[in-house]
Structure 1
Amino acid sequence: MSLLTSIASSNNKISASFPHGLVAVFVGGTSGVGEYTVKAFAKYSTNSRVYIVGRSQESADRIIQECEQVSSGSTFQFIQADVSALRGVDGVCDEIKNKETTINLLFLSQGSMGFNKKSPDGLPLAASLATHSRTRFIANLLPLIQQADTLRRVVSVGAATVEGPVDMSNFFGEGFPLRKWRDQLSSIQTLVLKEFSRLAPTVSFIHSLPGIVRGGINRDAEGFSLKLIILISRYLFEPFLQVLPDECGERHMFLATSAFFKPAQDSMESAGVLVPGGEGTVIGTDGETGSGAYSMDHHLRPLPARAVEMVAQLRSNGTQTKIWEFISEDFKRLTGTGLPETAKASPGL
């Protein structure tokens, strides 16, 4: 059974698989992929507690009203924050930790195309939202995810399956052509998730590529050339290639809950929603099936062979460890707290 044909049967079993509900955190949940997946979560889950993190109170109010109309027994709470600032991330995490002891799903889709903008911490905005902000959320909330009795999952929406070379002398890819910047950022996200998987083998980590999806990420786009590319894409390519909002939400809900994407160390029964046809057989970013860290494209296909080789090379030559150390040092400099030392000291293999 292909993953695409499994979506409907898997999503329709979510409420029965988790009758007591789930605790889910959606960062960047007020637009784009995050919004579409929140709405799918409301449609399929019951008795859950959902935290939506974003900037727009107006958008959050609209989304929560729509979710409450279709949800069964679930509650939705908005946390307004600027998650481009690391201390803003810490504040959100502290608020959640004061209310919850476990988390089942951490869904990260915050992003920006403001390539010439800086974050409040002085970091390049577009890249640091995908690297530092997301890594900080995972590091802060991972203990609560590990404590969950059932589903334990992190989904990071980015540019999965196009992993490319990483230039550690230009970590944020400043001045890179857009494609080179994208491919490097893809590798960084995939390798960070793989290191977290090594640190927390009972949690599954998924890096996803949503395809062409309408969302709020374009609002920070700067410069005539970039705006022209967006305009051409919108009118020439999107009508034929666009992933529609409902379909995007359905696919990401599947990624967020299906047992196909099992942790490295977990029984299938607690890994997610079980459907007949080869659960846990998805190839991970290390080329092994069911290895706990996955990179999936918008057709739900895992890493192609070229990307598997690239990721293996970046792990074997120490780049994974260097990435972890780079982010950890920035965390220490900006907040006083780095990444877990046990992971930092690993050889990245």
Structure 2
Amino acid sequence: MVKIQAIAQGNKAYANERNAGLVFVFAGATSGIGASTLEKLASMVESATFHIIGRSVSRFATQHSKLSNINPNLTIHFFEGDPSLLSDIDAFSQRIKTTSQKVDYLFLSPGLLPMAGPHYTKETLELCFALSYYSRLRLTSNLFPHLLASPRPRILSVLNGGKEKPLIEDDLGLVTRWTPTAVIAQTTTLTTLAFEHLASQHKDITFLHVYPGLVRTGIFSNLVAPQGAGVWERVKLALLRGVFGVLAWVLGANPEVAGERCAYVLTSPTYGPGVWLVNEVGDLVALSGVLSKYKESGWPEKVWGFTLGVFEAVLGKDAVV
């Protein structure tokens, strides 16, 4: 366990380096853990450029002012877009490429709890799957040239690192076998295997897959009933929102603490190039037997091939990177 005092010391040591000119990219940082991480990182750099995607520039205004107060030397570029849409991710990526020559840190944490049945984006991807996996990996792949221009590129995905389960191998995208537990397990394992493949191709990049544990955020309040749900389903979901919201408040970690931990993992010299699985208390998690078996049988490459196939299906052949 990495104690919070050690994390605070590590973040202070990073801040004392007075790093300037860094470029950060954030998806999923306008609320919850991501917002707390964003604010902590703002306090740890001398100057930096922050690229942030979010659904509403007006809702981001308060956070923008807070960041500017924390660090007046920040350059903040906010892109109004839907993080679940691959086309918006591509537009965001293009905006970054036209304003920055490199990307030093990529932070990924968009998500939605899949407890109320599948929802679909206008690109016909299941919403939870798109947020937890497809859009994150699309942004990652889009930014590889800029990441490789950094002397110490790092990518951190906040999901369920260390909690990988066996894949549903004959339905990787859960087209016919979607369930709440399946989408959590599938996106978790796909993320780690995709990172393993990408790390084998880009040996100078650090890939971090982090499990934050239970945190006091509003994620449970975002649960909505599927289209066509009956009265009982809606009532049941309202009860679940209340129960899980109370549990998160009573048992969950403070979001500021979670943000400080994520900022530490993203910037700490403890983690070099390669793939790292980090749990909620900062401990490294060894590859499970499931992951070792998948690595030995070539599944990282298979997963990436599947992912590129989805990109092509949604965006067209010319959009595959």
TM-score with structure 2 setting the length: 0.89
Is 1:303 matched with 2:290? no
Deviates more, 1:316-325 or 1:199-208: 316-325
> Residue type of the partner of 2:261?
R
State the shift of 1:213 in Å.
2.3
> Residue type of the partner of 1:297?
N
Per the alignment, in what secondary structure is the counterpart of residue 113 of structure 1? Answer: coil
Change beyond 3 A, Cα 1:198–1:252: same
Q: Could you say which residue in structure 1 is the equivalent of 2:270?
A: 260
Per the alignment, in what secondary structure is the counterpart of residue 143 of structure 2? Answer: helix
Q: State the alpha-carbon separation in 2 of the partners of residues 99 and 29 from structure 1.
A: 20
Q: State the alpha-carbon separation in 2 of the partners of residues 103 and 229 from structure 1.
A: 40
State the shift of 1:135 in Å.
0.8
Q: State the alpha-carbon separation in 2 of the partners of residues 339 and 302 from structure 1.
A: 33
Asked if 2 retains the 8 angstrom alpha-carbon contact of 1:30 and 1:56, the reply is no
Q: Could you say which residue in structure 1 is the equivalent of 2:188?
A: 186
Asked if 2 retains the 8 angstrom alpha-carbon contact of 1:161 and 1:303, the reply is yes
Q: Could you say which residue in structure 1 is the equivalent of 2:258?
A: 248
Q: Could you say which residue in structure 2 is the equivalent of 1:132?
A: 134
State the shift of 1:243 in Å.
1.3
Change beyond 3 A, Cα 1:26–1:216: farther
Q: State the alpha-carbon separation in 2 of the partners of residues 337 and 220 from structure 1.
A: 35
Identity %: 24
> Residue type of the partner of 2:245?
R
Asked if 2 retains the 8 angstrom alpha-carbon contact of 1:328 and 1:338, the reply is no
Q: Could you say which residue in structure 2 is the equivalent of 1:161?
A: 162
Q: State the alpha-carbon separation in 2 of the partners of residues 207 and 337 from structure 1.
A: 29
Q: Could you say which residue in structure 1 is the equivalent of 2:213?
A: 211
Tell me how many residue pairs correspond in the alignment: 308
Q: Could you say which residue in structure 2 is the equivalent of 1:280?
A: none
Q: State the alpha-carbon separation in 2 of the partners of residues 251 and 227 from structure 1.
A: 31
- Return 5+ residue gaps in structure 1 as ranges: 264-291, 341-349
Q: Could you say which residue in structure 1 is the equivalent of 2:228?
A: none
Q: State the alpha-carbon separation in 2 of the partners of residues 82 and 101 from structure 1.
A: 24
Q: State the alpha-carbon separation in 2 of the partners of residues 199 and 339 from structure 1.
A: 16
Per the alignment, in what secondary structure is the counterpart of residue 170 of structure 2? Answer: helix
Q: State the alpha-carbon separation in 1 of the partners of residues 137 and 318 from structure 2.
A: 13
Q: State the alpha-carbon separation in 2 of the partners of residues 141 and 19 from structure 1.
A: 22
Asked if 1 retains the 8 angstrom alpha-carbon contact of 2:25 and 2:52, the reply is yes
Q: Could you say which residue in structure 1 is the equivalent of 2:229?
A: none
> Residue type of the partner of 1:298?
E
Is 1:109 matched with 2:109? yes
State the shift of 1:112 in Å.
2.1
CA distances 1:31-58 after superposition (whole Å, capped 9, x unpaired):
1111111111112222111111110223
> Residue type of the partner of 2:84?
S
Flag the structure with more relative contact order, 1 or 2, with Cα contacts below 8 A and sequence separation at least 6: 2
> Residue type of the partner of 1:155?
L
Q: Could you say which residue in structure 1 is the equivalent of 2:245?
A: 234
State the shift of 1:250 in Å.
0.3
Per the alignment, in what secondary structure is the counterpart of residue 181 of structure 2? Answer: helix
Q: State the alpha-carbon separation in 1 of the partners of residues 191 and 181 from structure 2.
A: 15
Deviates more, 1:165-174 or 1:99-108: 165-174
Q: State the alpha-carbon separation in 1 of the partners of residues 56 and 12 from structure 2.
A: 31
Asked if 2 retains the 8 angstrom alpha-carbon contact of 1:112 and 1:129, the reply is yes
Q: State the alpha-carbon separation in 2 of the partners of residues 199 and 120 from structure 1.
A: 32
> Residue type of the partner of 2:267?
T
Asked if 1 retains the 8 angstrom alpha-carbon contact of 2:2 and 2:283, the reply is no
> Residue type of the partner of 1:65?
S
State the shift of 1:196 in Å.
1.4
Q: State the alpha-carbon separation in 1 of the partners of residues 298 and 94 from structure 2.
A: 33
Deviates more, 1:39-48 or 1:170-179: 170-179
Asked if 2 retains the 8 angstrom alpha-carbon contact of 1:52 and 1:60, the reply is no
- Return 5+ residue gaps in structure 2 as ranges: 226-232
Q: Could you say which residue in structure 1 is the equivalent of 2:40?
A: 40
State the shift of 1:334 in Å.
2.1
Q: State the alpha-carbon separation in 2 of the partners of residues 325 and 170 from structure 1.
A: 14
> Residue type of the partner of 2:304?
W
Per the alignment, in what secondary structure is the counterpart of residue 190 of structure 1? Answer: helix
Q: Could you say which residue in structure 1 is the equivalent of 2:69?
A: 69
Per the alignment, in what secondary structure is the counterpart of residue 47 of structure 2? Answer: coil
State the shift of 1:181 in Å.
3.0
Deviates more, 1:23-32 or 1:328-337: 328-337
> Residue type of the partner of 1:203?
I
The CA RMSD measured in Å over matched residues stands at: 2.1
